[in-house]
Structure 1
Amino acid sequence: MNHSEPLRSLAKHVYTVNMPTDTTADRILAAAHALFDAHGAEAVTMRRVAADVGLSAMAIYRHFPNREALLARLSNDSFEDAARTWASHARQHDPHRRLLAMLESYLDYALTHPHLFDHAFGLPRDDARRFPEDFRARRSPTLNLIADAIAEGMAQGTLRTLDEWDLAMDLWAHAHGLIALYRGGRFSFDEKRFRTFYLASLGRTIDAFAP
């Protein structure tokens, strides 16, 4: 199966974290997200977020006990938003195409929200999920979907029968590594050419696990 062409039929998704603004906690999250998205984690201080929302420096602590809890909530909300987007690719009945669609969404997330991406996937965090135990326990809303698509491909006979969690981690590491190299200036490609290369490379990896 040739996966070298980008999935033209799939509309490119622009991530937006779903944050209603009905409550004070929601307004705090929206303000913190805007700061994080524009300037990175260092910009998110309790005092600055409180000022942006119109709260006193102490009132914000009634909603989030500390900065770490606020950042953890932002990360969790981002994971959930990504999972909703990835789940929307379920209409792709071919598991191979679904895998590529989800991994393209991963690229979209990295390019659209680089600060959130780095915090979620590239920096040490005490609350980070760890392979294999947390993932095998299905604590990752995103990698669950990758592993499920792989398991479906194995059931259909289009992928060799292997450990779906090991293969899911292989694909995630491959995708993340390419993105890190691109963002680190190791490709001369523009974004369009890199996207084509990225999808083709992941397609070759998936094809390598065909029977």
Structure 2
Amino acid sequence: MTERSTSEKIASAARRLLDREGADAITMRRVAEAVGITAMAVYRHYPNRAGLLNGLADEGFAELTLRLEGLRPSGDVKRRLERVMDVFLDHALERPRMFELMFLKPREGARRFPEDFRAGRSPTANPSAAILREGMEEGVLREDDVWEIVFEMGALLQGLIMLYLGGRMSMSEKEFRKFCRRSFERYMHGICR
């Protein structure tokens, strides 16, 4: 077994802090203490705290992208979009603080709507866009701006997730998932032919 590099140890320590306490708890000093190195040694691997947080968020997006790539949803447009929604829900509920960092914390270099999305630079939005395009081509969905719909659907789900994680919804995870499904169905009703 090979020994992990210092950079890997730093990222791992930062992930643990993120999962336990959230992004605000991550400081170069705390990460260094967890690894057993000096704070200055962390700067050899990450230029600053923002760079470390960006690295963590990028890691979260890579994990979510892998889940989406492994999905291979089948069925009609609605069913395939539901499967994509389930992947987002699983990711968010398993790693809530990572999800918050990825989607809600301002970060330098974070993808922005509409330019990055329209350019295909969002690997987590591209699968939904492809399904929506197919639905429009098949005549199942009304012709509309695919990227605006992707962004709206994401905003609906992310907003519900953050309200749930923030304790603003008094329901179990199972009930919350059902609520998300009903919300999705109402949204789909509005864009279907």
User: Normalized against structure 2, the TM-score is what?
Assistant: 0.90
Counterpart in the other structure of 1:65: 47
User: Which residue of 91, 104, 108 corresponds with 1:126?
Assistant: 108
State the 1:21 CA deviation: 7.0
Distance 2:126 2:70 in 1: 14
Q: Which amino acid aligns with 1:193?
A: E
State the 1:132 CA deviation: 0.7
Distance 1:205 1:170 in 2: 9
Distance 2:48 2:105 in 1: 19
- Whether 1:92 aligns to 2:80 is no
User: Which residue of 37, 44, 48 corresponds with 2:30?
Assistant: 48
Indicate the SS of the match to 2:37.
Answer: coil
Q: Which amino acid aligns with 1:147?
A: A
Matches within 5 A, 1:39-188: 39-188=21-170
Contact 2:50 / 2:108 at 8 angstroms: preserved in 1?
no
Counterpart in the other structure of 1:202: 184
C-alpha offsets along residues 73-96 of structure 1, whole Å, 9 cap, x if unaligned? 100110111111122222424332
Contact 2:96 / 2:165 at 8 angstroms: preserved in 1?
no
Q: Which amino acid aligns with 2:62?
A: E
State the 1:126 CA deviation: 3.0
Which moved further from structure 2: 47-56 or 165-174? 47-56
Distance 2:91 2:82 in 1: 14
Distance 1:52 1:180 in 2: 29
Percent identical residues: 44
Residue 56 to residue 99, structure 1, CA distance change in 2 (3 Å): same
Residue 190 to residue 73, structure 1, CA distance change in 2 (3 Å): same
Counterpart in the other structure of 1:15: none
Distance 1:174 1:43 in 2: 28
Structure of higher RCO (CA pairs closer than 8 Å, 6+ residues apart): 1
Distance 2:148 2:65 in 1: 19
Contact 1:21 / 1:30 at 8 angstroms: preserved in 2?
no
- The count of aligned residue pairs is 192
Residue 36 to residue 185, structure 1, CA distance change in 2 (3 Å): closer
**Unaligned stretches of 5+ residues in structure 2:** none
Which structure has greater helix proportion? 2
**Unaligned stretches of 5+ residues in structure 1:** 1-19
